[in-house]
Copies of this chain bind each other. A is one copy, B any other.
Amino acid sequence: MGKVPVFSSLSGQNLASVAALIRRREYPKGEILFAEGDRLDDLVIVNAGSVKAYTIAPDGREQILYVFSEGDFFGERNLFDGRTAPYTLQALEEVKTCAFSREDFRALIADHPDIALAVMEALQTRIARMENALRSIGVRSVDARVSALMLEFAEKYGKPVPEGVLIRLPLSREGMANYLGIARETVSRKLGQLEAEGVIRSISGKSLLILDREALRQSAGVLS
């Protein structure tokens, strides 16, 4: 429990009192935790596994907004106004969560200003990531966005190995396409291109190896 960043400031005794407030749950792969519009009063922290957050556009397209994994949380909007899930949350693999009620969490913040700061910091990190995403839209080249996604995955899911960084992809090609807002075929093509350039190496459908991180950084920066 202490590994959740938001509570890292708590001492053992306080941790125990916090632990009394939480409700734990588990979900099998593919299960919908909450559908867009469902009532959602809690702040939910992901303890294990990963969750995709998406909306379905009226034309049927799925737009993935986040991939939450260990240590991430959602439902923070419920601390204030909204009381419904702003997007559908679905388990990408077996997932364990713990949840606080709105009231408990607000009380917790009032008692422990450090937690408020930690939550603000987490929100801030999220904003910084989204700012980056918006930046790379301006640089509207798809190459750049695919490279940026590889870097994001490397950071979140990568394991260093002698030749580079090994990534177990949390999303399928189609999932990546829906995350980036581009076509499935384009993801294939761009990934193929990166492999041809020796920047990555495909291990299996779901794993790949990053060989040249610097090249990714450069291409994520600009590129025509």
Contact = CB atoms under 8 A, between A and B. Distances in A.
Contact of A221 (B58, B65, B121, B181): B58
Given A76-B120, A113-B113, A137-B137, 10 more contacts: A57-B135, A61-B139, A63-B135, A65-B134, A79-B124, A80-B120, A119-B120, A123-B124, A126-B127, A138-B181
Contact of A123 (B63, B87, B113, B127): B127
Contacts of A137: 63, 137, 181
A224 interface: yes
Contact of A133 (B57, B109, B134): B134
Interface residues of A, number: 42
A217 to B, nearest CB: 12
Given A65-B131, A109-B116, A181-B138, A124 B59 contact: no
A121 B80 contact: yes
Interface of A: 55, 57-59, 61, 63, 65, 76-77, 79-80, 86-87, 106, 109-110, 113, 116-117, 119-121, 123-124, 126-128, 130-131, 133-135, 137-140, 178, 181-182, 221-222, 224
A61 B222 CA distance: 10
A153 B128 CA distance: 23
Contacts of A178: 138
Contacts of A134: 63, 65, 130, 133-134, 181
B57 A138 contact: yes
A86 B131 contact: yes
A222 B57 contact: yes
Contacts of A121: 79-80
A77 B124 contact: yes
A12 B86 CA distance: 37
A59 B224 contact: yes
A131 to B, nearest CB: 6
A130 B130 contact: yes
Contacts of A57: 135, 138-139, 221-222
B124 A80 contact: yes
A127 B130 contact: yes
A185 B181 CA distance: 23
